[in-house]
Structure 1
Amino acid sequence: MPVQPSIENHLLTSAKWCPSPNYNHRPSGANISLLVIHNISLPPRQFGGEYIESFFQNRLPREDHPYFAEIADLQVSAHLLIKRSGEVVQFVSFDQRAWHAGVSSFESETNCNDFSIGIELEGCDDLPYTSDQYTTLIQVTRLLMQRYPLITPTRIVGHDQIAPGRKTDPGATFDWKHYLDCLTGE
């Protein structure tokens, strides 16, 4: 029988650990109280491979695709990536501040990186996510809500909601109703 994933020492036990240098300490007194859902695909609209991991580790080979030259010098990260297969990669421990939200605000609080966890879904705004991704996202979200109880369904947002006009992810194809219904048991 497979061992159920858990969170130990702010790490998801079932995740592949792929440490990113793009993080720092959360401000003193900051409570983890927001979950931000993103999407990413590298190259754009292409899935698979190790480019996302390379990007979050500042090792993206700029010569492999014209788009990579534009973004290779960015220093960004997320806490987790959920691949199309449902596999999870962790880049930053949950107690640290990953650099995923950028200029952002939620309920008049700015700098969402200070108090949020960022999950990237391998995907893009206009293609459906996989059932494996939803299964994993729901399972991981439940664990995060147990470990960090200030994260509630009303404090789970898309990147587009905390950076409107600047970001569009996770996009129109993300099934918020299914995801939130599964979390709340409806």
Structure 2
Amino acid sequence: MAHAEQLKQTGRYPGCRWSPSPNFGSRPQNSKISLLVVHNISLPPGQFGGPEIEQFFCNQLDPAGHPYFETIASVQVSAHALVRRDGSVIQFVSCLERAWHAGRSCFGAEEECNDFSIGIELEGTDDIPYTPEQYQTLASMVRLTMMAWPDVTPDRVAGHCDIAPGRKTDPGPAFDWPYFSALLADQEIA
């Protein structure tokens, strides 16, 4: 429970590397954290392990570094955290703040999901399997989030594709929701 209380007070997941993004804002005054959104990202597309995702979320991506970067270098987005392929985590925005991860979105009748959600990116693509370490880390983070903010329940953990259908496809068919749900149900937080 100490870790959940720490998360609720500081907005920072324990044991993560902190790399603050300038791309965030305040949550609306009466909003309550009640949704967790799973995303994926790889930069360059389909490549893993480099510094480019962190550079992108911190507005430091070199447009000359890859032809694709020219199209996104000026885009200002963020997520609360990124789970790398090895399960390590970089956090960019405090969970107490509004990260810019969902864009135009709705969950049920609730619009503008950035206002009330936490966004976690997995280093990956829609069609490459995620690693066991990523599933373990994500399950730990989600359980901790649910302990800190009880309005986040298993049925309020969604993919980006679920809150922005037709516009977004991540985390894609490579994400094994039944496996993740089973892992989430079995996992305990120390």
**TM-score using structure 2 length:** 0.94
Q: Find the counterpart in structure 2 of residue 55 from structure 1.
A: 56
- For 1:33-48, list aligned pairs within 5 A: 33-48=34-49
Partner of 1:153: 154
- Aligned: 1:112 with 2:110: no
Please give the alpha-carbon distance, in whole angstroms, between the structure 1 residues aligned to 2:34 and 2:179: 22
Question: 1:9-33: CA deviations, max 9, x gaps?
Answer: 1101210000000000000110000
Aligned partner of 2:48: which letter? Answer: F
CA distance in 2, matches of 1:88, 1:185: 21
Offset at 1:181?
A: 1.4
The match for 1:127 is 128
Q: Which residue of 1 aligns with 2:143?
A: 142
Matches of 1:31 and 1:180, distance apart in 2:
23
RMSD after superposition: 1.4
Counterparts of 1:75 and 1:48 in 2: how far apart (Å)? 21
Instruction: Tell me, in whole angstroms, the C-alpha distance in 1 between the residues paired with 2:69 and 2:160.
Output: 22
| Deviation (angstroms), 1:185 | 3.1
Number of residue pairs aligned between Structure 1 and Structure 2: 183
| Residues 68-114 of structure 1: per-residue CA shift (max 9 Å, x gap) | 00000100000000000100000000010000000000011110000
8 Å CA contact 2:80, 2:120 repeated in 1: yes
2:100 aligns to what?
A: 99
Name the structure 2 match of 1:12: 13
TM-score when normalising by structure 1: 0.95
In 2, Cα distance between equivalents of 1:9 and 1:135: 23
Question: Which one-letter code corresponds to 1:51 in the other structure?
Answer: E
Q: SS of the residue aligned with 2:121?
A: strand
Task: Structure 2 unaligned segments of length 5 or more: list them.
Answer: none
- Cα separation, 2, equivalents of 1:75 and 1:178: 33
Cα distance between partner residues in 1 of 2:158 and 2:116? 13
Question: What CA deviation, in whole Å up to 9, does each residue of 1:31-81 have, x standing for no partner?
Answer: 000000000000000000110000000010110100000000100000000
Q: Tell me the secondary structure at the aligned position of residue 82 of structure 2.
A: strand
